[in-house]
Structure 1
Amino acid sequence: MEIVAYGVLVDEQPLLRAAFDTAFDGRHELRCLGLFLNRDTAPTAAGHEVVLSSVNDTLDAEVLRALAEGGTRMIAQRATGFNNIDLTAAKELGLTVARVSYYSPYSVAEFAWTLALAVNRRIVRAAHRTREFDFRLDGLMGRDLRGRTAGVVGTGKIGAAFAAIAHGFGMRLLGWDIAENPDCVALGMQYVEREQLLAEADLVSLHVPLLPATHHLLDAKTLGLMKDDAILINSSRGGLIDTGALLETLRAGRLSGVGLDVYEEEAGVFFLDKSLEVMTDERLARLMTFSNVLVTSHQAYFTQDAVSQIAETTVANVADYLTGRSSDNTLVAPPAP
């Protein structure tokens, strides 16, 4: 059987193929495509029982229906998030859906800190200057993190890893979540209401999933609670922040730094080369104009360790499907025989 994978990145492909070959030993073939799965590309999946999707694929009811009509029976998402998949439609169509429920939390937590340190110490601006042999320090002043307050919004595995690094810097820890994480409490984290966290934190980092309850978790009202000189980091999901409200906050001269590895309208933009095109997304283009904003292209997870784990788990999900098993990764179980 040939299995097709969409949105496969250049550096991801050898790791995905290695995991595939190890698991199936030539019993199945893997076809890797760089294009993303959407209503225009769905016909290319015809005849493939198993499809490996990426987080930037569009798997709404229309696309899922096209896949099902083409013979697809199983979708294995190569990511933890699955807000791009209409699970209700998948169940109605008899499609099995699985995801990667766990991979290295350190990849994302460490990258979130990379963004935080870069915006705090103006690293991008400094690097651009020195490449032009401009060695002035004007406008490059940052702040010590030791003794300041880190607000961790979402204290699961990634949030806990972020908190551990903050603890290493000697920061006071505030947390907000539906349940307390004992590992974070052991670090000295104080769990507080979201409003208090936003008002007191010098650095706010988001580590919650995108759900209806967390969509635009940071809007005009909640952004207004933050300190004028606070740093905001989002390496989770773009929809957690109301981009329009963030732009208004930045226009008002508030927030000393913003690091974004995700963007709420990133589909069709991130992972692609748009350098020779006119950027039609005016809000994204406007974000890029602020010198205290750093935007990266959803790369927080992108370490050899994490991508290898994602590939291995994805292949295991496919093996489970082929043998009629389910696991904690299963989002929509196979229909009853």
Structure 2
Amino acid sequence: MKLIDYGVRDDERPYIEEWSKKNNIEVKIVPELLNPETIELAKDYDGVVAYQQLPYESAIFDKMNEFGIHVLSLRNVGVDNVPFDALKKNDIRLTNVPSYSPTAIAEYSVTGLMILLRSMKSMIRKVDKHNFMWAPDIGRELNEMTVGVAGTGRIGQAAIKIYQGFGAKVIAFDKYRNPNIEKQDLYVDTLDELLKESDVVTLHLPSLGAGNTVINKGSIANMKDGAIVVNTGRGDLINTADLNDAVKSGKLLGAVLDVYENEVGIFNSDRTGQELDDKLLSEMIENPKIIVSPHIAFYTTTAVKNMATISLDSMVDELNNGKSDNEIDLG
């Protein structure tokens, strides 16, 4: 068995090399992303592993089929950038890593919130200029707040435990209720109810499709004055321009955004000293009440190792058994 792994970062390489040695399976490591040109490197390999935010072009799968490769294993959760029709046409199975570290993302959501509540972005900027005045950057306490957790999958459940540990009142909403959360009587009946009752709304939902935002001008109008939005889920859950306007107007106290609807091509790139073409993103970065980070909630050693190794394990299961627990139903 020979595998090829695309888009591999330096932080992933040791885990892939360790897995390869442990399992005595050759894995060719390719730093470049998977595209119609680099797929040529996969000839004579048995399976393709990849991770990227850019769309996977249909021509990739035509070539995989030509090479006799019929499994693509992703090192991430999201599959919205993969054309299922092209996979089905070429009889290619798809796997992902549905859970690589829910705790990492849940912890980060709280970390970002605490930075915002204690005005750390503004305070750090002041101290860097040797301004050591306290005011006006007075903090707020999480234990006095109601936190609304939208989405109670693995990440949402982990977030609930952490927020409860701070002493916050937690309420939750999910179309599909989790029995463990239901036992705690945390659920509200509608997302609108959660938005109205929460001082903090933290999003742990999958993408709802283009144009189907949870946070927008209409929903913001129904939120508490001075509420906070935390998003470590998907960028397209929020109409970012509406959110930015709400923070600037004072309707919302602030926001923590680890994902952004237009992040592809910007996040995980070095733009040091360059002016961003994205004026909305630039404006939010400058605003001390908006915490922006480049999609790093997942980015821990534990999560990176799991992404690298679980994707390879799934590939082996597919090739040896024709099925894995992480296979995606292509419909």
TM > 0.5 between the two?
yes
Task: Give unmatched runs, 5+ long, in structure 1.
Answer: none
User: Residue in 2 aligned with 1:81?
Assistant: 78
Picking from 193, 198, 215, the partner of 2:195 is: 198
Is the 2:209–2:236 contact (alpha carbons within 8 Å) kept by the matching residues of 1?
A: no
What does residue 289 of structure 1 align with?
Answer: 286
For the structure 1 residues 137 and 192, does the alpha-carbon distance in structure 2 shift closer, same or farther, using more than 3 Å as the test?
farther
Which residue is 1:29 aligned to? 27
Structure 1 residues 211-226: aligned runs within 5 Å: 211-212=208-209, 215-226=212-223
Q: Residues of 2 paired with 1:72 and 1:310: CA distance?
A: 21
Shift of 1:247: 2.4
RMSD (Å) for aligned C-alpha atoms: 2.2
- Compared with structure 1, are the counterparts of its residues 213 and 274 closer, same or farther at alpha carbon in structure 2 (3 Å cutoff)? closer
How many Å separate the matches in 2 of 1:280 and 1:273?
A: 14
Q: State TM-score, norm by structure 1.
A: 0.89
For 2:138, the equivalent position in structure 1 comes to: 141
Q: Quote the offset at 1:132 in angstroms.
A: 2.8
Q: Is the 8 Å Cα contact of residues 20 and 315 (structure 1) preserved in structure 2?
A: no
Count of matched residue pairs:
327
Q: What corresponds to 1:6 in structure 2?
A: 6
Amino acid at match of 2:109: A
Uncovered stretches (5+) of structure 2, i.e. residues with no partner? none
Larger deviation, residues 295-304 vs 184-193: 184-193
Displacement of 1:145: 1.4
Q: Distance in 1 between matches of 2:170 and 2:53?
A: 33
* 1:15 equivalent in structure 2: 15
User: Quick one: distance in 2 between partners of 1:69 and 1:239?
Assistant: 35
Q: Is the 8 A contact 2:210 2:236 kept in 1?
A: no
Question: Where does 1:288-307 land on structure 2 (aligned, <5 Å)?
Answer: 288-307=285-304
Instruction: Give 2:38's aligned amino acid.
Output: T
Deviation at 1:172, TM superposition (A): 1.4
CA contact (8 A) 2:36 2:57 kept: no
191-200 or 242-251, which deviates more = 242-251
Shifted more, 76-85 versus 122-131: the winner is 122-131
Q: Letter of the aligned partner of 2:12 in structure 1?
A: E
Alignment of 1:33-72 (within 5 A): 33=31, 35-37=32-34, 41-48=35-42, 49=45, 50-65=47-62, 68=65, 72=69
Structure 1, 75-84 or 273-282: larger mean CA deviation? 273-282
Structure 2: distance between partners of 1:61 and 1:142? 51
- Percent same amino acid at aligned positions? 28
What is the deviation of 1:286?
Answer: 2.5
- The structural deviation recorded for 1:55 is 4.2
Which among 263, 270, 274 is matched to residue 266 of structure 1? 263
Residue 159 of structure 1 pairs with residue 156 of structure 2: yes
Distance 1:5 1:200 in 2: 46
Structure 2 vs 1, CA of residues 332 and 198 (structure 1 numbering), >3 Å: closer, same or farther? Answer: closer
Deviation at 1:68, TM superposition (A): 4.6
1:229–1:255 contact (8 Å) kept in structure 2: yes
Q: Does 1:130 find its partner at 2:127?
A: yes
Q: 1:79 to 1:275 in 2, by over 3 A?
A: same
> 2:50 touches 2:74 (CA, 8 Å); kept in 1?
yes
CA contact (8 A) 2:247 2:254 kept: no
Paired with 1:187 and 1:274, the residues of 2 have a C-alpha distance of 46
Distance 2:61 2:285 in 1: 34
> Which deviations, in whole Å up to 9, do the C-alpha atoms of 1:166-204 show, x marking residues without a partner?
111121111110122232234452323111111110011
